[in-house]
Each structure stands twice: as structure tokens, then as C-alpha cells.
């Protein structure tokens, strides 16, 4: 993409404060898949080559990742699927986890009045999983190939095993992961090799998961929620103090919602509505940026980073108060995206100085009223596009592996406000709108996005990363649209994140020391991080599909 300006882009980026070594995207004429893990990428591409559409590939990839990427790929979690079809139709399937019926507002408040860690580790941390139901809904309504064909590759990967990469093996034996998984016998036996640990290249076989997937292959989601998988899952929960019951599983329903739509500099953006906070977030932040000329300072410059950070900070303040499950709380989307309100936010930014977060509060919307993860992107030969972000929340979820079933359970209950007004595991402050209620969906930051230019498919992207997801997706988008990078360079460029509270600007390595010094002089507290997010993106232009998986991971993009 834009080969004639590529050198200029790299030189501009270098002079403005980031280190970018140009990397070419993967190119193909017909179809493209970008995922976090190469076995899953191969599975999805094989589905497309054999006549399946993008929804079929999304289903097959989702189940394959539940085998090959246990830290986030899942049948024990949930997520979102965003699709834009070649005929212009769009849909958003919400298969996010839900609070069990026995959940209560103060279930994680200890005798001392403080929030406990029960929302992070163990059986009580899990919401009702939604992935199997959601992928089945997508397939039944929009898929083309037989369901069993799409699940079979995951069955084979689980039963025959696959060699663990260096990154997989290192992740499983890390101190944080191994300590959590060791607390639960099934997790220790399967994922820690019963305490002996795995080496790179060792084959991970998961026979219990293979049998679970075989049942789902043969009987569909009904088995997972009402059959031979549901019963032992509910019994395991009851035996260990978990809250999920057979009725919770039986009553779980995925929901089809209308995607959120917005525009920026002539580009149409299709993204996630509530209960995601991500779509509202990127649209509000882009609204604040539009027309300011912030991009003239260049990617990674102190001036551009400052303006973007201030827009981020203001959105996360609003997020803390106004975002929640739209089935339980009226999320004021129209007010948060009202041009006059966005203009007020823009005018409140001092172009030379950081606004201390304690000085900022959620906006007064009364005058404007009229809420560990992985991502994969797919474009098929017909021009259908799918963006899927799904999660167990933390890496390896609650660390609990369902007995006799072989899959890890989520710790998604921590995405609720266990104690409104106090920070959760990600440091996010959340309000009453996201307080725990039975059958409620916890607020998410997942931001699958599809972008059109002149009415035609242009970008498909998304990322994991908790609250950093919103800013990661935003930054890759503006790297392409505002800073003229090709899709690989846009994904590679160093990232930054501000979420209002705590009042710190988190920056990846790769920014110049001069940029960091200038930002400190503007009043920012800088904290350096190794990596933020892991984007899987596809760009469509001039008859070519260009794919990029994030070099921060072992991800791959492949097409034909």
C-alpha cells in the first residue's frame, strides 16, 4: 500500500519520535486471515479455500484457538463477532459471558469492606460462558459449510496434539501463570505437565478437551449448555463453591445487536456497541481529534501524543460513569457522541500542558442527551469481512480447568465493578452502571472494527489487552488514516495508553528519549511497558488484501 510514500512515511516517523523499521504486509488477491496462532490461521485459510465464507472461517478459528492458544482462546469464555457482508449488511453478535443467577452486588466484598481477589482466581470468578452459543448462532444464520466440518480441525488438534512454541512454553512456566494454575489439579496436570513443565517443541495433547469438542461437533451448542458437557460443568461448580448452575447454562442466549457506526475524515467506522465500551470510545476520541490538525506534528511526536492522550483521558473518565450493559442500564451513547459535547471536550484540552486526572470528572451529559483476550480478522473471496475478539479475561482466565472437560474457565466477573468507585485488576475505576447483577453482562473494552472508504471495505482490525484495547485499535487506525503508514508499519509502531485513572501515561519502548522528555515537561508521569495489545489487521486496497499479525506475538497472516 502507498509504496511511493513509504520512505517518506518512515523518515517522518523517525524524525517525529518513534522508531519504525518498515515491514511489508502479507499480500493476497482473494482472501486473508490474520490470527494470533499459526495453526488457527491455517485452519481458517483451509476453510476459505474449500469454499467456506468468512463466518465459517471465524467459527473454525474460534474452536482451533481454544486448543492452541489456551491463555485466551476459549470455549470457557465469551466475546464479540462483528461482520460486514459484501452486500452491505452488518451484524454484531454478543456472546459475552453473563453473571450467574446467584451473583449479587457485594459478592466480592470482604468483612473489612474491601474487594477480595475472588473475582480473579477460582470458581467464583467465572461468568456463564458464551463462545459456543455465539459461534453457533453466527453459523446458523450466516454460515455456509457443515458445522461438523468446522469443528473437526479443533478436535484433531486437541486429540493429536501440537508442538508448543517457545512463547507458549515460556508463558506456561512463568511464575505468575504457574502459581495460579498449580492451585487447581486439572490445570496443573494438563497445562503444567503435572508440575514437570513443558519445553518448547513438546506436544500438548488434550484428550478431555477433544471429547468435549467431539460432542459439540456432533450435537452442537445444546450439548455444551444442556447435555453431557453441561452436567459435569455444573457439578464441578457446585462442588467447589462456584455459582454457575445447569439453569444458568440452559438459559444462556447469545444476542444479535446493531453495530455502532460513526465517521472520521470521510471513513465509515463499524464497531462494537454496548456492552462494549470500545466502540463509543474510539468514536468519541476520533471526534475530539478530527479537525484539530494534531497529525501535522507526525506519528510519535510529543505534540500528537499529547493531544491523543488528552482525548483518551477524557473518554475513560466518561467510561467510569456511563458505560454498562444496555439491557440493565440506559447507556447515553447519543450524548457521549454528541458533536457539541465532543466540541466541549476538545476545547477543554490545553495544547501545551497535561490536564491532571484528579481535575477531570465524567462529563455532565444532561445538555447533550437526545455505556486476556485474542482477536482475529478475516476477509473472504466474496468480500465478506469478520472481526472477532473473544476472551477469558486474564491470561488463562480463572486458572480453573473444568473437571473431565479439559477447558479453562473465564474470570470475567472481575470486569464488573466489584466495588463501584474502586479500581479493578486493570486499575479501571467503574461506577454503578457496571455493578454486579444476576444475568447482567460485564462491561467490555473489546473493540472489533471494520472501516469503509468510499463505501468499500478498507480495514478489518481489533486487539486484546483489557482497557488498552480501545487505544490500541485507535492508534493502528490513525497510523494508517492520519499518518499514512502501510498496515504492517501501523501495527508495528510503538503504542501508548492513558485511562484517566491511574494518572499515568504508559508507553512502549520505541519512542525517542526526546519525545519522552518533552511529555514529562508537559506534566505527564511516564511508565514504560514492554508491549501493548496484539493487533490482527487486514487492509483492502486496489484489488489486494494486505494482512498483518502483530510482531509482539507469534501471530500470522496468510492469504491466497
* Residues labelled as active-site residues: 373
Give all strands of the β-sheet with 255-257 in edge-to-edge order: 255-257, 90-95, 78-84, 385-391, 373-379, 32-35, 556-559
Question: Could you give the CA distance from residue 225 to residue 137 in angstroms, rounded to a whole number?
Answer: 14
414: phi then psi, degrees, rounded to nearest 5: -70, -10
| Nearest-angstrom CA–CA distance, 488 and 546 | 8
How far does Cα 197 stand from its chain's mean position? 28
SS3 content of the chain, % helix, strand, coil (to 5): 40, 20, 40
Greatest CA separation found in the chain? 65
Q: Are 413 and 124 in contact (CB under 8 A)?
A: yes
- DSSP per-residue codes, 1-31: --HHHHHHHHHHHHHHTB-----PPEEESS-
CB 51 within 8 A of CB 543: no
SS (H, E, C) 236-291: HHHHCCCCCCHHHHHHCCCEEECCEEEEECCEEEEECCCCECHHHHHHHHHHHHCC
C-alpha grid cell for residue 306? Answer: 499529547
| Structural contact between residues 35 and 555, judged by C-beta atoms closer than 8 angstroms | yes
Pairwise CA distance, residues 151 & 517, whole Å: 52
End-to-end CA distance of the chain: 17
Bridging pattern class, strands 90-95 and 556-559: unpaired
How many Å apart are CA 188 and CA 197, to the nearest integer? 9
Cα dihedral: 216, 220, 226, 229 (round 10): 0
Query: Distance (Å, rounded) from C-alpha 383 to C-alpha 456?
Result: 9
User: Can you tell me the distance from the alpha carbon of 179 to that of 383, in angstroms, rounded to the nearest whole number?
Assistant: 45
Amino acid at each position: 500500500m502507498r509504496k511511493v510514500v513509504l520512505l517518506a512515511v518512515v523518515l517522518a516517523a523517525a524524525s517525529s519520535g518513534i522508531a519504525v523499521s518498515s515491514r511489508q504486509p502479507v499480500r493476497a488477491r482473494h482472501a486473508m486471515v490474520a490470527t494470533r496462532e499459526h495453526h488457527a490461521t491455517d485452519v481458517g485459510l483451509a476453510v476459505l479455500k474449500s469454499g467456506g465464507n468468512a463466518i465459517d472461517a471465524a467459527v473454525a478459528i474460534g474452536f482451533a484457538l481454544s486448543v492452541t492458544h489456551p491463555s485466551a482462546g476459549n470455549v470457557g469464555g465469551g466475546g464479540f463477532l462483528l461482520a460486514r457482508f459484501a452486500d452491505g449488511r452488518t451484524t454484531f453478535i454478543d456472546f459475552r459471558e453473563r453473571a450467574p443467577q446467584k451473583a449479587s452486588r457485594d459478592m466480592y466484598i470482604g468483612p473489612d469492606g474491601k474487594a477480595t481477589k475472588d473475582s480473579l482466581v477460582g470458581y467464583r470468578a467465572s461468568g456463564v460462558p458464551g463462545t459456543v452459543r455465539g459461534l453457533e448462532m453466527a453459523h446458523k444464520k450466516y454460515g455456509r459449510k457443515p458445522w461438523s466440518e468446522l469443528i473437526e480441525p479443533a478436535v484433531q488438534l486437541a486429540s493429536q496434539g501440537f508442538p508448543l512454541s517457545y512463547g507458549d512454553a515460556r508463558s506456561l512456566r512463568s511464575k505468575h501463570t504457574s502459581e495460579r494454575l498449580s492451585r487447581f489439579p486439572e490445570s496443573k496436570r494438563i497445562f503444567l505437565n503435572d508440575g514437570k513443565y513443558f519445553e518448547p517443541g513438546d506436544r500438548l495433547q488434550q484428550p478431555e478437551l477433544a471429547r468435549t469438542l467431539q460432542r459439540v461437533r456432533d450435537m452442537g451448542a445444546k450439548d455444551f449448555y444442556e447435555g453431557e458437557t453441561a452436567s459435569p460443568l455444573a457439578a464441578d461448580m457446585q462442588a467447589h463453591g462456584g455459582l454457575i448452575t445447569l439453569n444458568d447454562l440452559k438459559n444462556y442466549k447469545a444476542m444479535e445487536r446493531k453495530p455502532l457506526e460513526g465517521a472520521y475524515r470521510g471513513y465509515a467506522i463499524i464497531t462494537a456497541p454496548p456492552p462494549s465500551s470500545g466502540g463509543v470510545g474510539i468514536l468519541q476520541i476520533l471526534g475530539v481529534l478530527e479537525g484539530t490538525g494534531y497529525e501535522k506534528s507526525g506519528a510519535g511526536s510529543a505534540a500528537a501524543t499529547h493531544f491523543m492522550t488528552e482525548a483518551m483521558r477524557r473518554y475513560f473518565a466518561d467510561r467510569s460513569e456511563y458505560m454498562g450493559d444496555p439491557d440493565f442500564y440506559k447507556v447515553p451513547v447519543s450524548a457521549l457522541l454528541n458533536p457539541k459535547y465532543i466540541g466541549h471536550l476538545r476545547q477543554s484540552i490545553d495544547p501545551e500542558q497535561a490536564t491532571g486526572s484528579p481535575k477531570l470528572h465524567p462529563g455532565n451529559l444532561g445538555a447533550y442527551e437526545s455505556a486476556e483476550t485474542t482477536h482475529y480478522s478475516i476477509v473472504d473471496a466474496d468480500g465478506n469481512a469478520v472481526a472477532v475478539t473473544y476472551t477469558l479475561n486474564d491470561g488463562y482466565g480463572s486458572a480453573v480447568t473444568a473437571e473431565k472437560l479439559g477447558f479453562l474457565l473465564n474470570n470475567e466477573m472481575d470486569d464488573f465493578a466489584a466495588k463501584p468507585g474502586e479500581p479493578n485488576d486493570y486499575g479501571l475505576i467503574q461506577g454503578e452502571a457496571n455493578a454486579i447483577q444476576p444475568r447482567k453482562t460485564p462491561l467490555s473494552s473489546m473493540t472489533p472494527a471494520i472501516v469503509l472508504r468510499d463505501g468499500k471495505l478498507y480495514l478489518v482490525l481489533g486487539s486484546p489487552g483489557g482497557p488498552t484495547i480501545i487505544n490500541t485499535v485507535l492508534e493502528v487506525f490513525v497510523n494508517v488514516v492520519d499518518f499514512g503508514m502501510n498496515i504492517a508499519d501501523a501495527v508495528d509502531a510503538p503504542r501508548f495508553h492513558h485511562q484517566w485513572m491511574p494518572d499515568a501515561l504508559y508507553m512502549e519502548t520505541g519512542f525517542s528519549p526526546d519525545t519522552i522528555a518533552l511529555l514529562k515537561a508537559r506534566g505527564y508521569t511516564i511508565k514504560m511497558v514492554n508491549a501493548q495489545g496484539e493487533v490482527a489487521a487486514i487492509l483492502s486496497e486496489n484489488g489486494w488484501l494486505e494482512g498483518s499479525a502483530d510482531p509482539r506475538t507469534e501471530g500470522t497472516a496468510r492469504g491466497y
